[in-house]
């Protein structure tokens, strides 16, 4: 199989061209299953060979394992072949530190693990868990300092609740955001945020087209925060696809990557064949009949989400 014809799109005011499908390295940290390090390294090579040019990671994934394994792969890939982002501020399930100095030391630790001198982006990771004051007074100035030092090119924030971005973006100047589980077959509420992002020319990275495993015949992992009704509808949709001889993951990837207003969508795997297949799906035409049937099954739970972090960020967009 030859190299995939990947689509590329501009990422906000950064001017960077990112692949419509990008690689989320969380799987390399064994966060979903036990992984083989050599297979993980091969997955990164395969992602690059498939036309993917943007990789995202965090020290939180596998408690630094994902960064360490990714760093082993990146040693042998020319630096001009990929854009790289990592994160700072979240270090464990309940461990957050967005203080100025910790952001600075966190990046230095990440650079060592990743075997690079700079990253293209540093995102503040899951900021909905701390008061806005900490982000505004400590973390954002640290990002500015890192930009000036040349260790990062661009800065961003990420989190689950969309009202988080609605609240904070008017108060800070960031280059990009990562939003997850809000542009997928079951939830397209990210569309409500696009006018604000486009007005500010803020880059957008969409993550988790399968909604952290919701859209799967395997059933959702026990830790998944969605309510039983959402889980049931998503499982029903996945099973419907399987009964037609189709994989809902394919439909989900095609759906999320086909919207021109969403520059890139992150998928995560530690399997080389999986990432190759995901990349090839981007270029295949969507089965419109299947898509409309699946959207009809998911209609009762459309745009239903779950809470994450502090109550002030968990209002509906427009009500923040």
Cα distances (Å, whole numbers) of residue 30 to 40, 93, 163, 208: 10, 15, 30, 16
3-class SS at 295?
A: helix
Backbone dihedral angles phi then psi of residue 180, each to the nearest 5 degrees: -130, 150
Q: Which helix (H) or strand (E) holds 270?
A: none
Helices (H) and strands (E) in the chain, counts: 11, 12
Q: Which residue shows structure tokens 């969309």? A: 162
Q: Residue 82 catalytic? A: no
Identified catalytic residue from 54, 61, 82, 313: 61
Residue 14's nearest CA partner among 137, 139, 149, 123 is: 123
- Do 2 and 276 touch, CB atoms closer than 8 A? no
- Do 29 and 58 touch, CB atoms closer than 8 A? no
Cα distances (Å, whole numbers) of residue 47 to 65, 90, 99, 171, 271: 19, 26, 34, 36, 10
Residues annotated as part of the active site: 61
């Amino acid at each position: 199989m030859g190299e995939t014809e990947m689509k590329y799109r501009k990422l906000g005011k950064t001017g960077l061209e990112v692949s419509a499908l990008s690689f989320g390295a969380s799987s390399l940290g064994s966060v979903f299953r036990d992984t083989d390090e050599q297979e993980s390294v091969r997955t990164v090579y395969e992602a690059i060979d498939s036309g993917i040019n943007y990789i995202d990671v965090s020290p939180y994934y596998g408690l630094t394992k994902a960064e360490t394994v990714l760093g082993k792969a990146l040693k042998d890939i020319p630096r001009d072949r990929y854009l790289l982002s990592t994160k700072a501020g979240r270090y464990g399930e309940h461990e957050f530190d967005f203080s100025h100095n910790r952001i600075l030391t966190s990046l230095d630790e990440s650079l060592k693990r990743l075997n690079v001198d700079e990253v293209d982006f540093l995102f503040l990771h899951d900021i909905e868990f701390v008061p806005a004051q900490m982000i505004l007074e400590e973390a954002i100035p640290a990002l500015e300092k890192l930009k000036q030092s040349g260790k990062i090119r661009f800065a961003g924030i990420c989190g689950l609740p969309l009202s988080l971005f609605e609240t904070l973006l008017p108060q800070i100047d960031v280059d990009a955001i990562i939003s997850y589980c809000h542009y997928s077959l079951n939830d397209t509420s990210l569309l409500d945020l696009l006018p604000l992002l486009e007005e500010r020319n803020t880059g957008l990275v969409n993550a988790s087209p399968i909604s952290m495993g919701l859209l799967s015949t395997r059933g959702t992992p026990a830790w998944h925060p969605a309510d039983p009704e959402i889980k049931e509808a998503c499982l029903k949709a996945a099973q419907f696809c399987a009964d037609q001889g189709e994989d809902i993951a394919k439909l989900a990837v095609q759906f999320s990557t086909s919207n021109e207003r969403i520059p890139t969508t992150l998928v995560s795997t530690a399997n080389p064949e999986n990432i190759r297949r995901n990349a090839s799906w981007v270029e295949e035409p969507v089965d419109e009949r299947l898509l409309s049937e699946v959207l009809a099954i998911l209609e009762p739970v459309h745009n239903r989400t779950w809470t994450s972090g502090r109550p002030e960020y968990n209002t509906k967009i427009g009500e923040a």
